[in-house]
Each structure stands twice: as C-alpha cells, then as structure tokens.
Structure 1
Amino acid sequence: MRFDSVIDLIQVTYTEDEIGNQIEDTEKRQTFAEKKSVRQSEFYQASMAGLKPEITFVLWVHEYKGEPKLEYEGKTYTIIRTYERKDKTIELTCEVKTGG
C-alpha cells in the first residue's frame, strides 16, 4: 500500500452566537492516504440513492476519528461511506460538497 497522498481530515462542531445563529467551527488534521477510484458498481448504486461518489481514500483505521469531511488538493469532500477492511485500514468514499 502506498500512502502517498496528503489529506486533511476535518472535524466539524457547531456553536451558537448570542442571537442563536449556528456557527460552524472546523478543525483540520493532516494525514497520509492512498487515493483510489470509486468502483463502478458502487458509483451506480450510490447514484440511485442520490449520491455522487467521486473518490476513495484508504488510510490506517486508527488515523480516522469519525470526521465528516476531508480536504484534498484544495477541494472539500463530504465522506459518504466508510468501510473498515481486514488489513487495519479504512476506505473513505467521498463526494464533492457543492454550494459551500
């Protein structure tokens, strides 16, 4: 396995200001991962559910702490599926977050 891509895992929390508006706070944590294509079957199954998986990253399972987003090469992705493998790695299937 070649973990030669650098990604930023993004933890998201929300706080309220004095008038009750929710403010998104993010915390980034950098790690290495292997970039992979989304499998064709997974792409079509997800499309039927209204999702648009674009890319998959594989990293060590202990590196992932449940973050809902990640950043790679300036793009922010939403993690739409995780899959823990037997070799102590985890696959993060992602789609581009549009409109924000």
Structure 2
Amino acid sequence: MAIPWSDVVYLVGLTEAIDDYGFPTTGESERKKVFANKKSIRSSEYYQAKQSGIDLAFTYEIRSIDYDGEEKLYLSADDEEPHEIERTYEKGEFVELICKRKADDHAV
C-alpha cells in the first residue's frame, strides 16, 4: 500500500500576457508544489472519455485548500511535459484532479 500524501505534483495556472510584438499570449504562473495521492482512473470514466476522443492518463487527489483552479499539472519541478487537468471532482476537504497528457491531444 502506498504511503498517503507521498507524491508531489506541481500545479500551474494560465495567465494572460502581451508578447514582445504587442499581441496577447498565454503564459504560465509559477509552479506550486503540492502533496498528493495518485489514484487510478475509474474504468467507466476512462471509457466514457475515450468515446469522446479524450485519453485520461491519471488522477491525483489533493487537499481542496491547495487547489485554486489551476489548469495544468507537472509531475516534477523540471518536467517539461504538461498534463492538462481535464476535470475536477470535489469530495469535501479533498479534490480529485483527472488529467490527460498534453501530448495525447492530437486533434489540436
């Protein structure tokens, strides 16, 4: 059995900015370190998402107080591959972050 809260993830929100040419662009906020529990994707949820063309990768459970609507999740401080938070599920003082890999999004 895994030790509770032994995983560390980094949450990142999206910010609006202006690039060097004066055009609007989207940037990332600073990475916020959060302790989490890694969980499996429920099979029914996985197959329902798959029918819609979404490949869910994993779920992390964190404390609700640590989540502030961030859209991306990284598995390490120097990870370069973002994972998009596809959906959240609040369970009292906890929230589950259901994620997909950004690289899995082939349609965009």
TM-score by length of 1: 0.88
Q: Deviation string for 1:38-73 (max 9, x for gaps)?
A: 111110001112211110000101100000001014
Q: Which of 78, 88, 96 is 1:91 aligned to?
A: 96
Name the counterpart of 1:10. Answer: 12
- Contact (CA 8 Å) 1:54, 1:96: kept in 2 or not? yes
Is 1:77 the counterpart of 2:83 in the alignment?
yes
Name the counterpart of 1:63. Answer: 66
Number of equivalenced pairs: 98
Moved more, 69-78 or 51-60: 69-78
Aligned-CA RMSD value: 1.7
List runs of 5+ in structure 2 lacking aligned partners: none
The answer to which structure has the higher strand fraction is: 1
Q: Percent identity?
A: 33
Cα distance between partner residues in 2 of 1:64 and 1:48 = 28
Is 1:44 the counterpart of 2:35 in the alignment?
no
CA shift in 2, pair 1:19/1:95, >3 Å: same
- Contact (CA 8 Å) 1:12, 1:27: kept in 2 or not? no
Cα distance between partner residues in 1 of 2:84 and 2:55 = 10
SS of 1:45's equivalent? helix
List runs of 5+ in structure 1 lacking aligned partners: none
Q: Which amino acid aligns with 2:14?
A: V
Cα distance between partner residues in 2 of 1:90 and 1:25 = 22
